[in-house]
């Protein structure tokens, strides 16, 4: 097994591209690349990194990619099952999962089953399947290194304590508040997908940008933190911090609050997940506190941005309610991006799904069933605005 090599899933996306930047600067090799259907981008990446294998989950585009890269040594595979097989069989100890959405769950499970080191951007794996994924990772002795900036920050703050169960009082999860911070529901009714994807501090994929605008992203991150750090929900507090300098904090039982700060740049958490315990990322802009002047904090407006509360509700409901929430949200976001429903219909889809879904078994099939129920319900909720 080659320790200086990485498999990158979702390599054509926002996190995927930044991961390749980090890999370039670290001088690592790539054994596996994957995308859904961005054939030109994946071809370019294959020609640069010459991985042994590449997977297009969309079969039609996989055929096109095969023809395009026939002159390289890279074998092209097609479909979701092939992605999981390639994850299991690739000659890398580390897998970066930067797939967006529930589609990242099976590759996460495949990486853990194969005993790989998992650098995880795909939060939906933990939101929908955490109750299955975390015990599996523990059983297999697999470490999960979060790429989500808040969870990377919490992970770094946690290093200040050797007994988390006894010493952690609060995880303070920060969020920018998104592009619509300060707006009220009557103003949100008419916002467009184009406005929603324009985030003030981060340049991200479309789905997470909409999630940031609804505050569902913060909700998903609360669930992600519960699963990753094994803390009760009451120990997690969300604070809106519009400057995105403090990426999260942990307060310990002696009152000490440890924070991780930097200008927003996903390459820092990506790099740390790849090189932990060593810190290798060097291309940063030092935080200039004098120029910054002040940092601000406020409570999230959950009366307006209801998705954050629904995440807490799903955690309280237990079972696979978080998979229902996640599936419903994915469909609602897709429908919003297609102008099929309004921005304020997104929380309505999620709420309707949480109320309407039936309990499912607590195994992988049960999680898939819960996700499907969430999707089915959210796909028929009618537009109100
Ligand atoms: P993106 O949409 O830019 O990229 C997604 C990648 O996944 C692409 O390579 C795409 O081809 C692939 N993909 C899409 N659907 C797929 C499917 N069904 N099967 C297999 N592959 C598929 O998304 P992103 O913004 O890079 O986000 C990726 C993940 O990282 C998400 O879970 C997101 O929540 C998380 N994340 C992103 C950021 C960020 O700054 N973008 C920050 C924190 C966490
Ligand atoms: Mg985040």
Q: Token digits for 76?
A: 């092209």
Q: For the whole model, what pTM was predicted?
A: 0.98
CA quadruple 36, 208, 116, 139: dihedral, nearest 10:
-120
Question: At CA 295, angle to CA 294 and CA 299, rounded to 5?
Answer: 140
Indicate if the pLDDT at residue 301 is higher than 60: yes
Q: Token digits for 242?
A: 């519009």
- The whole-angstrom separation of Cα 72 and Cα 66 is 10
What are phi and psi for residue 262, nearest 5 degrees?
180, 160
Sequence-separated (6 or more) residues with CB below 8 Å from residue 65: 39, 42, 43, 54, 56, 76
Q: Supply the pLDDT for residue 203.
A: 85
The pocket of ion ligand 2, defined by CB under 5 A, consists of 148-150
- The whole-angstrom separation of Cα 275 and Cα 264 is 19
Q: Is the CB of 20 under 6 A from ligand 1?
A: no
Q: Supply the pLDDT for residue 155.
A: 98
- Nearest ligand to the CA atom of 204: 1
Q: Is the CB of 199 under 6 A from ligand 1?
A: no
Q: Is the CB of 224 under 6 A from ligand 1?
A: no
**pLDDT per position as a tens digit, 89-121:** 999 999 999 999 999 999 999 999 999 999 999
Indicate if the pLDDT at residue 3 is higher than 80: no
Q: Supply the pLDDT for residue 73.
A: 95
- The whole-angstrom separation of Cα 200 and Cα 180 is 10
Ligand 1 atom with least separation from CA of 122: 32
Q: Tokens 């009152």 sit at which residue?
A: 255
Q: Supply the pLDDT for residue 202.
A: 80
Ligand 1 atom with least separation from CA of 36: 11
Q: Tokens 């060097």 sit at which residue?
A: 282
How big is the chain by its Cα radius of gyration, in Å? 20
Percent of the residues in the chain that have a pLDDT greater than 70, as a whole number? 99
Q: Identify the CA nearest to 380 among candidates 328, 311, 344, 322.
A: 328
**Taking a C-beta distance cutoff of 8 angstroms, is the pair 208, 10 a contact?**
no
For all residues of the chain together, what is the average pLDDT?
97
**pLDDT per position as a tens digit, 217-234:** 999 999 999 999 999 999
Q: Supply the pLDDT for residue 380.
A: 98
**pLDDT per position as a tens digit, 113-145:** 999 999 999 999 999 999 999 999 999 999 999
- The whole-angstrom separation of Cα 148 and Cα 127 is 13
What are phi and psi for residue 41, nearest 5 degrees?
-65, -45
Q: Is the CB of 153 under 6 A from ligand 1?
A: no
CA of residue 150 to ligand 2 center, whole Å: 5
142 sits in the region (left: phi over 0; alpha: psi -120 to 50; else beta) called: beta
Q: Supply the pLDDT for residue 201.
A: 84
**Residue with CA closest to ligand 1 atom 22:** 36
Q: Strands 236-240 and 144-146: what pairing?
A: unpaired
Q: Is the CB of 57 under 6 A from ligand 1?
A: yes
**pLDDT per position as a tens digit, 256-294:** 999 999 999 999 999 999 999 999 999 999 999 999 999
Q: Give 146's pLDDT tier (boundaries 50, 70, 90).
A: very high
**pLDDT per position as a tens digit, 38-66:** 999 999 999 999 999 999 999 999 999 99
Indicate if the pLDDT at residue 355 is higher than 80: yes
Q: Strands 246-252 and 168-175: what pairing?
A: antiparallel
Beta bridge partners of 248: 260
CA of residue 206 to ligand 1 center, whole Å: 9
Ligand 1 atom with least separation from CA of 16: 26
Q: Is the CB of 58 under 6 A from ligand 1?
A: no
- Nearest ligand to the CA atom of 150: 2
- The whole-angstrom separation of Cα 371 and Cα 369 is 5
Sign for the pseudo-dihedral over CA of 10, 15, 19, 21: positive
Pocket test residue of 202, 208, 224, 331 for ligand 1, highest count of atoms within 8 A of CB: 208
Q: Is the CB of 348 under 6 A from ligand 1?
A: no
Q: Tokens 């740390």 sit at which residue?
A: 272
- The whole-angstrom separation of Cα 39 and Cα 220 is 30
Indicate if the pLDDT at residue 2 is higher than 70: no
**Number of Cβ atoms within 10 Å of the Cβ of 120:** 25
**pLDDT per position as a tens digit, 320-348:** 999 999 999 999 999 999 999 999 999 99
Q: Supply the pLDDT for residue 362.
A: 87
């Amino acid at each position: 097994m080659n320790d200086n090599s990485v498999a990158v899933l979702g390599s054509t996306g926002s996190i995927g591209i930044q991961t390749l930047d980090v890999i370039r600067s670290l001088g690592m090799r790539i054994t596996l690349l994957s995308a859904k259907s961005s054939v030109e981008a994946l071809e370019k990446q294959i020609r640069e990194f010459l991985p042994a294998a590449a997977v297009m989950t969309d079969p039609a585009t996989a055929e096109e990619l095969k023809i395009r890269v026939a002159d390289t040594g890279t074998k092209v595979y097609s479909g979701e099952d092939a992605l999981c097989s390639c994850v299991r069989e690739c000659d890398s100890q580390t897998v970066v999962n930067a797939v967006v959405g529930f589609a990242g769950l099976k590759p996460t499970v495949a990486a853990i089953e194969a005993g790989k080191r998992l650098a995880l951007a795909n939060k939906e794996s933990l939101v929908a399947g955490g109750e299955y994924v975390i015990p599996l990772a523990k059983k297999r002795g697999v470490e999960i290194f979060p790429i989500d900036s808040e969870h990377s920050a919490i992970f770094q703050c946690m290093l200040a304590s050797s007994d988390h169960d006894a010493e952690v009082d609060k995880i303070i999860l920060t969020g920018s508040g998104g592009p619509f911070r300060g707006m009220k529901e009557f103003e949100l009714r008419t916002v467009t997908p184009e406005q929603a994807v324009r985030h003030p501090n981060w340049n991200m994929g479309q789905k997470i940008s909409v999630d940031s605008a609804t505050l569902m992203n913060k909700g998903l991150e609360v669930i992600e933190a519960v699963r990753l750090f094994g803390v009760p929900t009451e120990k997690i507090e969300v604070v809106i911090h519009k400057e995105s300098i403090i990426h999260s904090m942990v307060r310990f039982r002696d009152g000490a609050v440890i924070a991780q700060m930097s200008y927003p740049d996903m390459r820092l958490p990506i790099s740390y997940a790849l090189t932990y315990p060593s810190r290798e990322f060097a291309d940063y802009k030092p935080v200039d506190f004098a120029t910054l002047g002040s940092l601000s904090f406020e409570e999230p407006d959950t009366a307006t941005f209801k998705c954050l509360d629904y995440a807490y509700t799903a955690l309280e409901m237990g079972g696979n309610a978080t998979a229902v929430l996640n599936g419903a949200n994915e469909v609602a976001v897709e429908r919003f991006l297609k102008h099929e429903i309004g921005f304020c219909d997104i929380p309505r889809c999620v709420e309707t799904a949480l109320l309407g879904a039936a309990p499912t078994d607590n195994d992988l099939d049960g999680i898939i069933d819960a996700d499907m129920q969430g999707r089915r319900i959210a796909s028929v909720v009618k537009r109100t605005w």
